[in-house]
Amino acid sequence: MEPLKQNSARDFFLHALSITTLYMSTISLLIVVFAIIQRFIPDILDTAGYYYNPADMIRTPVAILFIAFPVYAWSVWYLAKLMKQEPEMVEFRLRKWLMYLTVFVSAIVMLVTMISVVYSFLNGNLTLRFFLQVLSVLLVSGMAFYYYLVTVKQEGNKLVLRGIEIATIVFVVLSLLGSFLIMGSPKQQRERRIDDQRVSMLQNIDSLIQNEFSRANKVLPASLDVVFDGVDPLMRRDRDLVTGEQYVYEVTGISTYKLCATFAQMSYDREVAQRTKQTSPVTSYYDYGMYNWSHDAGYFCFDREIEQYRLDEIKDSLQP
């Protein structure tokens, strides 16, 4: 049996692995690059709606890039090594199909990118951030287009191909380093998640206070112990996850009160508001019901009041 046929299964899986990890790495890389550009070149229009933390958007792509790209680099190196030992592998039909597919996809991506440029021009979105995002797409897709086109045709300068390989590795490494500037360290990510849990617990306490007000003759509870009266101690969610101290609840008026906690970090919407020089955060991830739960780092209090419809119930009950 000919060597080419003997190794066809091996060649199939190696080429499939190489192309699959290429697509995974490329998509993840562009998502990371887009997030970096969005982080360091803010757009005032971003504050017009829902805030999201880029760290949440790129966590999965960064994990994919960490694993898929080294596997892709290894597969390219190993296939090149095998093709030197077995020149007949160059004629492997699946190899050519996959490479031409990559060339086709790269061409389509560049075409769609140019269409988006025209659309953004008509929509008035030709900002520096947009141009950098377009440039990153054209750069990545253009390098893939050229690299695989000359490779499948066995043409092109080897030094140019090696330059593309080195440039790709440098680009990926810099993008991964940039992603940590957005996400922060694992310790900072954990602190932010704990802060989100604190906000969630305060929202729950706020809801219980509102319900207690309606139930207890329209009077605010004197303390959190009253709010959680009768609740199994194991089910009470009125203490900080880290310090174990009870959250602060203070009555400030007939229908107003404060809820306070100590946060490790500033909420992301406030960070965006500072970078884009907004006077205050707008509708965001931290909105819940009629309130905004954005906060600074450190000890922070939320001023709250009884919902209007509950106060209206008091007026209705007083009418003859």
Residue 292 has pLDDT above 50, yes or no: yes
Distances (CA, A) of 92 to 45, 97, 158: 51, 9, 21
How would residue 48 be classed by pLDDT, with cut points 50, 70 and 90?
A: very low
How would residue 122 be classed by pLDDT, with cut points 50, 70 and 90?
A: confident
pTM (whole model) above 0.75: no
How would residue 314 be classed by pLDDT, with cut points 50, 70 and 90?
A: low
Residue 86 has pLDDT above 50, yes or no: yes
Which of 98-102, 113-117, 238-242, 284-288 bottoms out in mean pLDDT, i.e. has the lowest? 284-288
Per the CB < 8 A criterion, the answer to whether 37 and 127 are in contact is no
**What mean pLDDT do residues 7-11 have?**
73
Per the CB < 8 A criterion, the answer to whether 257 and 250 are in contact is yes
How would residue 68 be classed by pLDDT, with cut points 50, 70 and 90?
A: very high
**What mean pLDDT do residues 186-194 have?**
88
- Which of residues 206 and 125 earns the better pLDDT score? 206
Which of 11-20, 121-130, 197-206 bottoms out in mean pLDDT, i.e. has the lowest? 121-130
Residue 298 has pLDDT above 50, yes or no: yes
- Which of residues 318 and 8 earns the better pLDDT score? 8
Give the pLDDT confidence score for residue 37 in this predicted structure: 86
Give the pLDDT confidence score for residue 276 in this predicted structure: 62
Per the CB < 8 A criterion, the answer to whether 256 and 210 are in contact is no
Mind listing the pLDDT tens digit for each residue in 267-289?
877 777 776 665 444 444 444 54
Residue 303's DSSP bridge partners are 258
Which of 146-160, 248-262, 268-282 bottoms out in mean pLDDT, i.e. has the lowest? 268-282
> What is the CB-side half-sphere exposure of residue 273 using CA atoms within 13 A?
17
Per the CB < 8 A criterion, the answer to whether 259 and 247 are in contact is yes
Residue 63 has pLDDT above 90, yes or no: yes
Alpha helices in the chain (DSSP H): 3-6, 8-40, 54-85, 93-123, 128-152, 158-183, 186-215, 224-227, 268-275, 308-318
**What mean pLDDT do residues 44-55 have?**
57
**What mean pLDDT do residues 97-108 have?**
83
Q: How many residues does the chain have?
A: 320
Give the pLDDT confidence score for residue 202 in this predicted structure: 93
Give the pLDDT confidence score for residue 50 in this predicted structure: 45
Give the pLDDT confidence score for residue 155 in this predicted structure: 66
Mind listing the pLDDT tens digit for each residue in 175-186?
999 888 888 788
Residue 302 has pLDDT above 60, yes or no: yes
Q: What integer best gives the mean pLDDT of the chain?
A: 80
Residue 61 has pLDDT above 80, yes or no: yes
How would residue 306 be classed by pLDDT, with cut points 50, 70 and 90?
A: confident
pLDDT above 90 coverage of the chain, percent: 19
